[in-house]
Amino acid sequence: MALPDPSRLEPSTARQSSNPIPRAIATIAVAILTSLFLLFILAPVVGLVSAGGAHGLSSLASDAELRASLLLTVGTATMATFLGVLGATPLAYLLARRAFRGRAIVSALLDLPLVIPHPVAGIALLLVLGRNTPLGVALLAVGLRVANSPTGIVCAMLFVSAPLYVSAAREAFARVDPRYETVARTLGDDAWRAFRRVTLPLSARGLTAAAVVMWARSVSEFGAIVILTYNPKVASVLAYDRFTSYGLSETLPVAAVLVLLALIPLAALRALRGGEPLPR
Amino acid sequence: MIALERVNARAGGFRLTDVTFAVPQGGYGVVIGPAGSGKTTLLETIAGTIRATSGRVMLGGDDLTHAPPERRRLGIVYQHAYLFPHLDVRKNIEYGAVSTAAAAEVAERFGVHVLGDRRVESLSGGERQLVAIARTLARQPEVLLLDEPFSALDPRTRNTARRLLRTIYFERRFTVLQVTHDFSEAGLLGDIAIMLDRGRVVQQGDPEQVFRKPASPYIADFLGAENVFAGVAQPIRAEAPDWIDAAESEFTQNAVAFTTGALTFYALGDVVPGPTHAVIRAEEISLSAEPAMSSVQNQFRGTIVEIVPGGALTRVTVDAGGTPIVAAVTSRSMRELGLSVGVSVVAGFKATAVHLC
């Protein structure tokens, strides 16, 4: 085999190692910009936790309202996530697997709650589920009050967070080669059994991560909830209420505890995703 | 039996159009076609995971056009094994098995029982494919669909997998439809060969006829083989003639006597005794006026019945005891041997030139 003429390599080799000064400047610029960006993200969070974290954790014992608010937040977020997983998983599967008429419209509709301002989402929900609306009246007749109740909080969380779950769950299903199902079907499984025995286990990590994202988004929701249900107060509404009523110092413990609460899904996501491969 | 009657189907932008053929009960069919010709779509339409938009899919005599895959009593093995990664080897094989005993038996037959608790990620490509075949056969399907199951394997593993599958096929006599894009990978030729191109069946029939008389230049070019013989193979290792050890000692395969019509010639191959096909490329066959004193052991006298010029090589057909043998001969040899229709010549080829499949 003929070796390449070394003289032909020289120009490109020279190009690669030429102009070291601009390359160094570019590297320094990227490092500075990255550091500034990370500082911008980290500084408020670290500042908040360091200023109110310890107080927040200690006030969990003494502040009954904060405790109740956190329990309400976690409970409603869990319920919203449960309902989202239950109701949206089949839709995510359909979007991943089936080509059907109107698929693009359904996808666009699902993105809508993500792009409209969340207080507007709350107003929209109020127009449908408020106590003076036909649906609100009907629900009230069966003993289900939406506005100013935990049900309203769950509705608001579900509305703004479920699209995130659908999107992530659809990706999780799409990552499972449909031929696994084909093989399972030819091995005797009906469609449901093949889904349960093959597709679900193979997409479980992705689905769990999707649910965690939905739960985290539900916990952090404020805009839609504050319109639909000011009372009882979830943690985000409590923080806002204390800020407007008592000022920054009274708000810090609540806000810091909320940040610490957010670390739980963050850790869960890291664990679920495992060692993410480095980009090549 | 697999019978398709004017089946149309659509998968994404691809269409199967008016596909009609039948593989008899217990028969072996081969679907041949280039990449993108619709072979996998065809298998998945038979399997029921792609819906036929019109026509009929008959399996075992029943019209199962609209039946779900699980009611079709068939199994499918893809080129990529599609072992369930969340289950170990044993659980994969037992997944759809008719019984645990059946799974254990077929696992042992394929030598994968020793892999029992291994995770599928730790298996080699060959092991995966053997497990996939074992998993399918443990269900004891009446119809087996093979989507190029051996093409990704190394030659040794491929031969092992083919031999094992062929042995079980002869024992159980389920109906098989195997697709391939390459004749040399067809492995097991059978009762019917179906040429598929752009979603249509362009030729079908007895494999020997399809290979010997391609319906179009495209098919001829695609197949690229002129000498295809249906016959019976008989391993003769114990009574192998001296030349096997002397001249072919580098081969570890069995010596095989292959009989087609009035001819019996020697070949090398790891085959199960019984009906099979032998393929010899025309370029591997030499012509001479008298039997050659060389290592060429397969020599048959015959009469030239046809000469087809074609560029550098001329195709010369010799009728040897009723069996046509096509040789590719240079124009110089044509002149030196004085070859013309009606001339008596000897056609010779080495045992290593014979491809048993």
pLDDT digits (tens, 9 = 90+) for A66-82: 999 999 999 999 999 99
Cα separation, A241 vs A226, in Å, equals: 10
What residues contact residue A251 under an 8 Å CB cut-off, 6+ apart?
A239, A242, A243
Chain B residue nearest residue A194, CA to CA: B70
Asked if B348 and B290 touch (Cβ cutoff 8 Å), the reply is no
Nearest-Cα distance to chain A for B3, in Å, is 18
B43 contacts in chain A (CB < 8 Å)? none
Quickly state the pLDDT bin for B85 (edges 50, 70, 90).
Answer: very high
Report yes or no: B14 at the A interface, CB cutoff 8 Å: no
Q: Minimal CA–CA distance to A166: which of A97, A218, A93, A100? A: A93
pTM for this structure? 0.74
For B137-163, how does the pLDDT look when each residue is reduced to its tens digit (9 = 90+)?
999 999 999 998 888 788 788 888 888
Could you tell me how many helices (H) and strands (E) chain B has, helices first?
Answer: 9, 20
Which residue, among B121, B70, B112, has the nearest Cα to B94 in the 3D structure? Answer: B112
Judged by DSSP in three states, B194 sits in: strand
Given a cut of 90, is residue A17 above it in pLDDT? no
- Alpha-carbon gap, residue A13 to A9, rounded angstroms: 6
Chain A residues inside the 8 Å CB shell of B50 = none
Tell me whether residues A183 and B44 touch, CB distance under 8 A. Answer: no
Q: What is the pLDDT of residue B63?
A: 94
| Closest chain B residue by Cα to residue A201 | B86
Show the tokens assigned to A17. 């190692």
Residues from chain A that touch B76, judged by Cβ atoms under 8 A, are 182-183, 186
Helix (H) or strand (E) holding B289: none
Residue A138 sits at the chain B interface (C-beta within 8 Å): no
10 Å Cβ neighbour count for A276? Answer: 7
**Cβ-based contacts of B64 with chain A (< 8 Å):** none
Specify the DSSP class assigned to residue A271.
H
pLDDT above 50 (res A107): yes
**3 state SS of B357:** coil
Non-local (6+) Cβ contacts of A258 within 8 A are A219, A220, A235, A236, A239
How many A/B residue pairs have CB atoms within 8 Å? 57
Rounded to an integer, the average pLDDT of B96-117 is 93
Higher pLDDT, B88 or B280: B88
Q: What is the pLDDT of residue A159?
A: 95
As a whole-number percent, the residues of chain A with pLDDT over 90 amount to: 60
**A201 part of contact set with chain B, CB < 8 Å:** yes
Which residues on chain A are in Cβ contact (under 8 Å) with B80?
A: 179
Residue in A179, A181, A187 to test binding to B, most B beta-carbons within 10 Å: A187
CB contact under 8 A, B86 and A177: no
Q: How high is the ipTM of this complex?
A: 0.74
Nearest beta carbon to residue B70 from set A179, A190, A197:
A190
Q: Where are the beta strands (DSSP E) in B49-113?
A: 52-59, 62-63, 74-77
Read off the pLDDT of each residue in B36-43 and give the average, rounded to a whole number.
Answer: 91
Strand partners, B193: B30, B205
Angle between helices A235-246 and A248-273 (to 10 degrees): 160
Cα A277 from chain centre: 22
Residues in chain B: 357
Instruction: Kindly determine whether residue B96 and residue A180, on different chains, have CB atoms separated by under 8 Å.
Output: no
Q: How many CB atoms lie within 10 A of CB B62?
A: 13
| Closest to B229 measured CA to CA, from B300, B309, B175 | B300
Question: In which band, very low, low, confident or very high, does the pLDDT at B216 lie, cut at 50, 70 and 90?
Answer: low
Closest CA to B328 of B340, B342, B313: B313
Minimal CA separation from B120 to chain A, in Å: 14
